[in-house]
Every structure is written in structure tokens, then in C-alpha cells.
Chains A and B, each alone.
Chain A
Amino acid sequence: MGVLEEQIDQWRTYLRRRQAIHAVDVAELEDHLREQISMLTDSGLEDDEAFLVAVKRIGDLDSLSREFAREHSERLWKQLVLPVGNAARDPGSQTNALVAFGFAMAAAIAIKLPGLFGIPLDPDAEGGGIFYALNLSLFVLPFLAGYFVWKRGDARPPRLAWLVAGFAAAAVVVNVYPITDSSSTLGLLALHLPIALWLLVGIAYAGTRWSEVAGRMDFIRFSGELFIYYVLIALGGGLLTAFTAMVFYAIGIEVEYFIQAWLIPCGAMGAVVVGAWLVEAKQSVVENMAPVLTRLFTPLFTLMLLAFLGALVFTGRGIDLEREVLIGFDLLLVVVLSLLLYSVSARDPHAPPSVYDWVQVLLVVCALLADTVALWAISARIAEFGVSPNRAAALGMNLILLVNLAWSAVLYTRFLRGQSSFASLERWQTNYLPVYAGWAATVVVVFPPIFRFI
């Protein structure tokens, strides 16, 4: 029996090396293997013969682990690495990198082009600040979308036409509206246009899979990972900038102009495309990091919110609600929503609910309570001072987030109690995406005329 145990040990070790097959699956397969072996030895085979037959019947490990990866893509986030259907078109990684850098360069050059037509990048200069604030996302997102259209090999005319039309319409709208430095709609447009256009990037990203829940869910993950990568690149870029300034200063050459006019704007634009390429090429890096970050910060955010609610009740203070504060609460809901999404999507759906899951629910409930207080305060303020474009936009976004988060919490609780599958939470979340883009587009297109471009 000793030899057999050794062989099974080896087989188990071999199986464990496969990323897609988790320890719990290995245990299940091992039980299968042992049952098969004992059946075969009962019918007269020797141990080693039985082992060979049983291993062969389980199937070859490559196709097996591919099947596991396909089924458990949610814990691998690797659907896109797998050849899903269109294996024929798989541009080599080198071509891919070259094209990605090409698009990054194009974005970096695009931000400098208006300068040729006398629109200075300097925010203090006449006309410059407004133009760049409004058009910033239009310098980079079309290139990002273009990269994905190329990468997915999905340049079918109707889809491409919609993408081009979307970007073109956005460019016309923001530049035709008579918006001035003092318009309060300026900030609104600058903030909401990227949100609306991000949907176009998503459509380009998911390609033909946009109609599938899994395709849109991938896009949500991609967005989070791109954000993490972008922050990392920005940190590195900051270091590079600081050292550039330092070493040239040491030899008495002033490089401030180069840094402000070229390095930072071109780098910031190009980094978006480079970050997107990194997410695709090196998925496993962030895949391991995002769950760790959410694990770490979910309890901390929960504590913070509990302390806040406690203080609110204990001191009886109302929230002093400036517009900035409501936008702050919007951001808080975004953070809580992403903590929920990323930890849930990295979670093993078959694992029994743990304390951590209930912390997650507690976090969402606290955020909802805190936000309700904020909403109450903003309503009072609108009743007292009337509707301003900023208040209306912040309020609208807040309500959309609130609905999203509240229903997600309900679905998550049901999932934990085993009353529904995780798929329903994913479906809800992915179907909700267009609501954000729709609202953002409404703010961009409809708000300025309604509020007479004030």
C-alpha cells in the first residue's frame, strides 16, 4: 500500500500546481480517484495497474484544468487569457505591446495638439483652463477604446460607428455650449463627461461579450484594476519627475517648463493606455492584490463609519452640508460599493459565510445609514435655498448609488443565506452600469441649458 500512497501523493502535488484547481477540488477528485482504485483492485487489478487506469479515466490534466478555469473564472479573473472561442485571432504579445504603446503615444501627442492652434495648456492663461478641463477625457478615452477595438478584432461597422458617433457627439456638446470660467456647470461637465464616456470604453472593451453578464463583469474588474495600476504608475511618475528636476537642478539647468508642459500631461495621458495594457497582460498581479486590499480596508471602513454614526447619535449634530460634502458622500458610496464588489467577486462562491461576510454587510448598512443622513440634510438645504445645478447633480448621483448599493446588500444577504446565487448579484450590478452612464450623459447634455449655463 505504501507505493500506492506515494503515487497518489505525487498525483495530488501535480494537481495542486494547477492554478484553476483549488485544494477543495483536489480533495474531491482524490476521493474519486481512491474510489475508482478500490473498485478496480476489488475486481482483481494490482495497485499500480489500478492507479494507472484510474488516473487515465480522470482525464488529461491540461483539458481538465482548462474546464475548471472556464467554470471558476470568477475566482481567477482570467476569462480573457483563455482562448474563448476566437483563438484564431490572438495577436502575439509583442505586437500587442507595440500597438498599446502606439495608442499611448497617440494620446500623449493628442494632448499637445491644441497647443499648436494657440490654446495654451497653462490653466491660468486665457481660455486654456476651460478647454482642457472640458476635453480632458476626449484626449485619452477614444484612444483607449481604439486599442480595445483593435485588440478584440471587432471593427464591425455598426459598433464602430456608434463608438465614433458617441465620442464625436460628446466633443460637439462640450465645445458648443457657451460655458465660461464662472459657470458652475463647468465642474459638472468636467466630472460627468468621463463617466458617460467610460461606457463607450466598456463597449469597446467587452466587444461582442457586452451583451453577456460575464463580459460586463469583466469590465467592472478591469476598471478597478486599471485604477490600481494607474495609481502605481502615477507614484512612479511622481518619483521620476522629482528626480528629473533634482538632477538637472544640480547642474544648473531649469527643467520646470519641460516637466509641466510635456512630462506630466503627456505621461498622464499615455499612462491610461499603458495601464490598460498592463491589466490585460499581467492580470495575476492585481488579481492577488485587490482581494487583499479589500480584506484590509473593509473592517477599517466599517469601524470608521460605526464611529461616525455613533458620534452623530451621541452628539446630536446635524451634517453641515456643503456641495463638496455631498460629493464626498457620493465617493464614500463608490468606495463601499467597490469594496463589496471586489471582495465578493474574489470570494469562493461555495465557501460557507464567515464573520468577514457579515462585516461586509455591516459596512454596507452603515454606509447606507450615513448616506441617508446626508440625503436628509441636502433635501433640507434644497428646500431652503432652491435647486442649483451642483446640488441637483450630486443628489441625482447619490440616489442612483443608494439604489444600487441597497439592492446589492439585499442580494448579498440572500446569497449568504443561500437563498439566491451569486450570479443574481452580478447580473444586477452589470445591468445597472448603463444607469450611471445615462445619468452622467443627462448631466452633460441637459443640465447646462436647463440652468442657462450659469
Chain B
Amino acid sequence: MDINKDLIAASSTPLVLAILTEADSYGYAILQRVRELSGGRIAWTDGMLYPVLHRLERLGHIESRWEVADSGRRRKYYGITTGGRAHLADERRQWQTVDETLRGIWRFTIAAPAAPLLLGA
């Protein structure tokens, strides 16, 4: 299933912020976590994560630091800030509203999302 680009872009901010509330992390691990959480259904082009991280840092939602990883390489870690947590809470409310609204209307529509899967199976 391909998720359209606008949705991917819009969900990147809450997704990254939420992952960073679990623990400080770095680019590769964040991407792994996204794959894991979405069961591989949300796949970002790896490189595109970095401009997103840099934007969140510029807005003050996250902050970064360089550390030397176990591998001996320098690695850039990101952690969420207080402002970032507040922003995440705000985003969460917005997404919940969208989600609830959509759920409301799904009940009245005929084509259930499960149908194509059954046909495929």
C-alpha cells in the first residue's frame, strides 16, 4: 500500500517527536523505529528524514549533539525539548480530531478497507 506524499510529510513531525519521547536517538535508528511501528507500511526515503530533523531543530522542538558511538564513529543524536513535548501534545490533539472525524464518516461508507485484502487473499 502506497501512502501519499502529503500524508507522509504531515505525519513525519508527530512521528519523529513521539519516537524521541521514548529516548534520544539518531537518524538511522529513528527510521528503523518508524518501519517497526508501521510494520514496514510507512517507508521514508532515508535521506528525507534529515531535513525534517533539521527543521524541527530550527523550530526548537528538538536539540542535537554529536557523540562517539560504539562503532567509533561520530554520530549526531537528537533529543526532544520541553517546547517539542508541548508541540507534540498539540499535534496529537489535531490528529485525534482528524481521526475521530474520519471514523465518524467511515461508518456510513460502504467500501470497507478489508475488502481488497480479502480479494487479494
Contact = CB atoms under 8 A, between A and B. Distances in A.
B64 A350 contact: yes
Interface in B11-27: 26-27
Contacts of A67: 47-48, 51
Contacts of A421: 58-60
A71 B55 contact: yes
A61 to B, nearest CB: 8
Contacts of A422: 58
Given A31-B76, A59-B45, A25 B50 contact: yes
Nearest to A72: B54
A215 B76 CA distance: 31
Interface string B77-88: 000000000000
Interface in B37-60: 45-48, 50-51, 54-55, 57-60
B58 A31 contact: no
A64 B59 contact: no
Contact of B48 (A28, A36, A64, A349): A64
Contacts, number: 70
B106 interface: no
SS class, residues of chain A in contact with chain B: helix
Contact of A29 (B50, B60, B63): B50
A418 B63 contact: yes
B58 A423 contact: yes
Interface string B101-120: 00000000000000000000
Contact of A28 (B50, B55, B71): B50
A433 B35 CA distance: 46
Given A27-B74, A418-B63, A32 B46 contact: yes
A167 interface: no
A294 to B, nearest CB: 21
Contact of B45 (A34, A57, A72, A349): A57
Nearest to A68: B51
A58 B43 CA distance: 11
B58 A59 contact: no
Nearest to A69: B51
A32 B51 contact: no
Nearest to A20: B51
A70 interface: yes
A237 B66 CA distance: 51
A67 B46 CA distance: 12
A57 to B, nearest CB: 5
B60 A420 contact: yes
Nearest to A421: B60
Nearest to A24: B76
A70 B46 contact: no
Interface in A3-34: 25, 27-29, 31-32, 34
A271 to B, nearest CB: 37
A35 interface: yes
Contacts of A71: 51, 54-55, 58
Contacts of A350: 54, 57-58, 64
B75 interface: yes
A38 B28 CA distance: 12
B26 to A, nearest CB: 8
B42 to A, nearest CB: 14
A29 B51 CA distance: 11
Interface string A35-58: 110100000000000000000011
A350 B55 CA distance: 11
Contacts of A68: 50-51, 54
A420 B60 CA distance: 7
Contacts of B55: 71
Contact of B46 (A36, A63, A423): A36
B46 A57 contact: yes
Nearest to B63: A418
A423 B57 CA distance: 11
Interface of A: 25, 27-29, 31-32, 34-36, 38, 57-59, 63-64, 67-68, 70-72, 349-350, 418, 420-423
Given A31-B28, A68-B54, A350-B64, 16 more contacts: A25-B54, A28-B76, A29-B50, A31-B27, A32-B27, A35-B71, A57-B45, A57-B46, A59-B45, A64-B45, A67-B51, A71-B55, A71-B58, A72-B54, A418-B63, A423-B58
15 contacts: A25-B50, A25-B54, A28-B50, A31-B26, A31-B28, A32-B47, A32-B50, A36-B28, A38-B71, A58-B46, A59-B48, A64-B45, A71-B55, A71-B58, A349-B58
